[in-house]
Structure formats: structure tokens, C-alpha cells
């Protein structure tokens, strides 16, 4: 895969305000996938395909199923997958995550869609991750913002979203799941199955 073309795609996403994973997050996920010899990934939230392409570039042999509900982003992602000739390595579905049904079992689930929906997304797809696999959730620190401050600042929607991220964090903490939090990028949570 052409590194310069990938860099241009990243610059284009940043220029057009399309939210994409940070490089250090992708480095971490790429090395985790390589270390554990994982092969299959289900990603919630494709945007324009930057994270899928970057992981494929880092890992090499990988089969990624990724879901995006925004039509323009989906079309852009499909164009990018064509340009990068990903062929069967990346399958992209244009639909809402809630409408996606599968009986397949993946090595890795990446949750990177609507941040307020982390918990329902986790509950919906956790059983589609095989034993020994993991679930990765990005933006757990959400730029270091907290819901109470956002509420004080009258940023209602932001406050609700932050509150849901915090509640999801508390839910994981009070569970008996094996997990790690990493101060990588915007905060990563890895739940081990």
C-alpha cells in the first residue's frame, strides 16, 4: 500500500473535519493485532475508511468488516478501498450499526462510531468476538472533557455524550471483565475475552 497516498488521505480527512483515529492509536492496534496473530476485525464506524486502510497497511493479512451509516462517507470509503485495491480484505456495509446482523465470530471488535452508543454497541456485538479475542473502544478520554463541566458550560449534547462515555466506563469497571485502559491517542479501552 502506498504510504504517501495514505498520508494524503489522512490530510484530506483532517482538512474536511472527518474524525479519524490518531496515528499512535493505529500503531497500538496494529501491533496488538500482529502480536496476537488476529486475522478478522469488525469495525463499527468506517468514516472514509482511513482506519481500515491503515490497519491493513500495518498488519498485512487482515480481513476487515466495517460499517458506516453516512452515505457520503460510505461512498468516499468505497472509492478509497478501490484506489487502494483492497479487494476482499475490506468489506464495507452502508447501514446503521443497529441494523447489522451477523452470526460470524471475529478476533477483534473495534467500536469507533457514535460515542454515546458505546454500551449498546458493546452489548450488541460482544458475543461476536471469539474467546481469546478483544474489544477495542476509542476516545474514552474524549479530549479530556468531562460531563459536569460541559453541563456548566450549557453544552447539553456534549454533556449527554460525555455522561454516557463515563457511565460506560463505570459499567466496565464494575464488571468482572478483564480490561486495560491506555492513555494512547484519545484514550483506548481494551476488553479481553
Ligand X SMILES: C[S@@+](CC[C@H](N)C(=O)[O-])C[C@H]1O[C@@H](n2cnc3c(N)ncnc32)[C@H](O)[C@@H]1O
* Residues at the site binding ligand X, with contacts judged by CB under 6 A: 19-21, 45, 47, 50-51, 67-70, 73, 96-98, 112-114
Q: How far is the CB of 133 from ligand X (least distance, A)?
A: 18
* Closer CB to ligand X, 157 or 174, in the complex: 157
- Smallest gap from Cβ 83 to ligand X, in A, equals 15
What sign for the dihedral angle of Cα 146, 148, 152, 155? positive
CB count in 10 Å sphere of residue 87: 8
Q: How far is CA 19 from the centre of its chain?
A: 11
**CB-wise, 77 or 150, nearer to ligand X?**
77
Cα–Cα distances (Å) from 1 to 7, 73, 107, 131, 172, in that order, read 11, 21, 23, 31, 37
Q: What are the φ and ψ backbone dihedral angles of 94, each rounded to 5 degrees?
A: -90, 100
CA distance 30 to 38: 10
Least distance in angstroms from the C-beta of 86 to ligand X: 14
Closest approach of Cβ 152 to ligand X, in Å?
Answer: 26
Residue number with CB closer to ligand X (148 or 182): 182
Cβ closer to ligand X: 24 or 70?
70
CB of 27 vs ligand X, minimal distance in Å: 13
Among 175, 139, 176, 177, which Cα is nearest to 158's?
A: 139
- Specify whether the CB–CB gap between 29 and 55 falls below 8 A: yes
> Rounded to the nearest whole angstrom, what is the least distance from the CB of residue 62 to ligand X in the complex?
14
Q: Which is nearer to ligand X, 8 or 175 (CB)?
A: 8
Look at strands 129-137 and 188-192 and give their pairing. antiparallel
- Distance of alpha carbon 67 from alpha carbon 100, whole angstroms: 8
| Pick 144 or 176: Cβ nearer ligand X | 144
Amino acid at each position: 500500500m502506498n504510504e504517501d497516498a495514505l498520508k494524503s488521505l489522512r490530510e484530506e480527512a483532517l482538512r474536511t473535519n472527518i474524525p479519524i483515529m490518531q496515528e499512535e492509536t493505529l500503531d497500538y492496534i496494529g501491533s496488538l493485532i500482529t502480536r496476537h496473530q488476529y486475522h478478522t476485525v469488525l469495525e463499527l464506524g468506517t468514516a472514509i475508511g482511513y482506519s481500515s486502510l491503515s490497519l491493513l497497511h500495518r498488519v498485512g493479512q487482515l480481513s476487515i468488516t466495517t460499517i458506516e451509516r453516512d452515505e457520503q462517507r460510505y461512498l468516499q470509503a468505497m472509492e478509497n478501498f478501490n484506489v487502494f485495491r483492497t479487494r476482499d480484505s475490506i468489506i464495507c456495509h452502508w447501514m446503521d450499526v443497529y441494523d447489522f446482523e451477523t452470526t460470524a465470530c471475529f478476533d477483534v471488535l473495534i467500536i469507533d462510531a457514535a460515542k454515546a452508543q458505546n454500551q449498546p454497541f458493546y452489548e450488541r456485538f460482544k458475543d461476536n468476538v471469539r474467546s481469546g479475542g478483544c474489544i477495542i473502544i476509542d476516545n474514552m478520554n474524549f479530549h479530556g472533557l468531562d460531563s459536569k463541566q460541559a453541563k456548566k458550560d450549557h453544552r447539553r449534547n456534549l454533556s449527554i455524550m460525555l455522561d454516557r462515555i463515563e457511565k460506560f466506563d463505570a459499567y466496565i469497571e464494575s464488571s468482572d471483565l478483564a480490561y486495560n485502559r491506555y492513555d494512547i491517542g484519545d484514550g483506548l479501552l481494551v476488553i479481553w475475552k
